[in-house]
Amino acid sequence: MESRTFVGMIELSTHIEYLLLHHDEVSVPQLGTFIVKEMSSHRVDEEGIFLPPYRTVSFKWNEQETGEDFIASLSKMHNLSRQETRMMCIEYIDELIQRLDEEGSVSFGSMGYLLCDAESGEIGFVPQQSGIASPAYYGLDAVPFAKLSHEVRQQRAKKQAAGKVKLTSIQADRDTITIRINRKAFNYASAVAASILLFFAITSPFGKSITSGVSQQAEMFFATKFLPSVKPEPKAVEAQPIVKEEPKAEPVQVAPKDYVIVLASAISEKRALTYAAKLQELGYNAQACKTGTMVRVIIPGFASEDEVYQKIRECKADCKDFSNGWPLHLKGEVTPIEP
């Protein structure tokens, strides 16, 4: 009776998490092996976020697992013999498997959920979306990044094009060809030519004046450069009758509800269906679906990110899964996953 009471006090998942901080694998008797995976940082373009590196856990089910190292660590921590520790651990695993047969899924600390397949009887594991605790990654969080809109990219392209000086441009139609020269470049070239012309007009390197031959050219240059030119008068355009258009009533626009809460992402279809069914039993409109090639579990029906965050704040007190949820604006086709 005393040992059974002590077994009820042991938090098996807590001890597994403690061992995973120092080991890559932890084997539990008659249950299986929990394996740590280091996930590198990556960018999710579809959701507009940059995910930092994190640690997650996978699970291999094995009823024949002995778990000698786990028994030794547990007995040393609680100052018990290995035989007593093994008996208590087996009793706890039996109670855990019985709950899985009755409920289908059991929360396993902060690591995730244990699931039982009703048809095959196999035990699976769904890790938490945010990973498990690790001192190396404390303080790191997802960083959202916004893509430049099409209008902003057009404005930048116009500014870059305006900053470039075009010396010439050619416009052609069927009858005529018009060549335009940049005014700044033309004025600069004219000033340089005038300076060279005046220099040779005043003196020559042989000591003789050459103004007689150049004066007429200079007068023609300045006359064509600075005297006003005669512009042809524009042709008169016949006035067209003005037709007034009656204003049309603008349709009332309703904001589409294409924002969703993402509770799980990048998981298998089988796990997504199981996780969505568990949330539906709790009263949430969870759906397992595909957006592109990504498998997700979502809760749809929100018009903005503010509504999504408000729903997360309301629900995370009753369901801790919402603490790891984030908003997503669906732009492409969403394909529901059929069971």
Q: What pLDDT digit, counting tens, does each position of 207-245 carry?
A: 444 444 545 555 555 545 544 555 555 555 555 666 556
Whole-number pLDDT of residue 220 = 57
What b-and-e string marks burial along 168-189, b requiring 16 or more CB atoms within 10 Å of the CB?
eeeeeeeeeeeeeeeeeeeeee
Per-residue pLDDT at 17 exceeds 60 = yes
Average pLDDT, whole number, for the chain? 75
In a domain, 234, yes or no: no
- Identify whether residues 134 and 52 lie together within a single domain: yes
Q: Say if residues 306 and 325 touch (Cβ distance below 8 Å).
A: no
Q: Do 56 and 126 lie in a common domain?
A: yes
Tens digits of residue pLDDT in 111-164: 788 888 877 778 888 887 666 666 666 556 667 766 666 777 788 888 888 766
| Count of other CB atoms within 10 angstroms of residue 100 | 17
Query: How many domains are there within the chain?
Result: 3
pLDDT grade, residue 273 (50/70/90)? very high
Containing domain of residue 69, as a range? Answer: 1-146
pLDDT of residue 74: 83
pLDDT tier, 24 (very low <50, low <70, confident <90, very high otherwise): confident
Cβ-contact 112, 125 below 8 angstroms: yes
The pLDDT > 70 percentage for the chain reads: 68
User: pTM here?
Assistant: 0.41
Looking at 146, 163, 188, the residue that finishes a domain is: 146
Residue 257 in contact with residue 301, Cβ under 8 Å? yes
Q: Are residues 191 and 278 in the same domain?
A: no
232 is a domain residue: no
Q: What is the pLDDT of residue 174?
A: 61
**In terms of domains, do 135 and 177 share one?**
no
Domain shared by 75 and 41, yes or no: yes
Of 180, 205, 230, which residue constitutes the final position of a domain? 205
3 state SS of 278 = helix
Q: Do 173 and 309 fall into the same domain?
A: no
What's the pLDDT score for residue 176?
Answer: 64
Are 78 and 196 in a shared domain?
Answer: no
Cβ contact 168:179 at 8 Å: yes
The pLDDT of 296-302, averaged and rounded, is 91
Do residues 136 and 162 share a domain?
no
Is 298 within the bounds of a domain? yes
Which residue matches tokens 């009656």? 246
Whether residue 165 sits in one domain with residue 140: no
Separation of alpha carbons 297 and 267, rounded Å: 9
Predicted confidence at residue 319, as pLDDT, reads: 85
127/99 same-domain check: yes
Is 230 within a domain?
no
Last residue of a domain, one of 186, 205, 224: 205
Does 309 map to a domain? yes
pLDDT exceeds cutoff 90 at 298: yes
Secondary element (H or E) of residue 297: strand 294-302
Whether 320 maps to a domain, the answer reads yes
Give me the pLDDT at residue 169, please. 52
Question: What are 59's strand-pairing partners?
Answer: 34
More confidently predicted of 152 and 288? 288
Domain identity same for 199 and 339: no
Query: Is residue 132 one of the residues assigned to a domain?
Result: yes
Look at residue 280 and tell me whether its pLDDT is greater than 80.
yes
Helical H runs in 34-178? 68-78, 82-103, 150-163
How far apart (Å, rounded) are the C-alpha atoms in residues 266 and 7? Answer: 36
Q: Are residues 141 and 1 in the same domain?
A: yes
**Position 185 confidence tier, pLDDT thresholds 50, 70, 90:** confident
Total length of the chain: 339
**79: phi > 0 → left, psi -120 to 50 → alpha, else beta; which?**
left
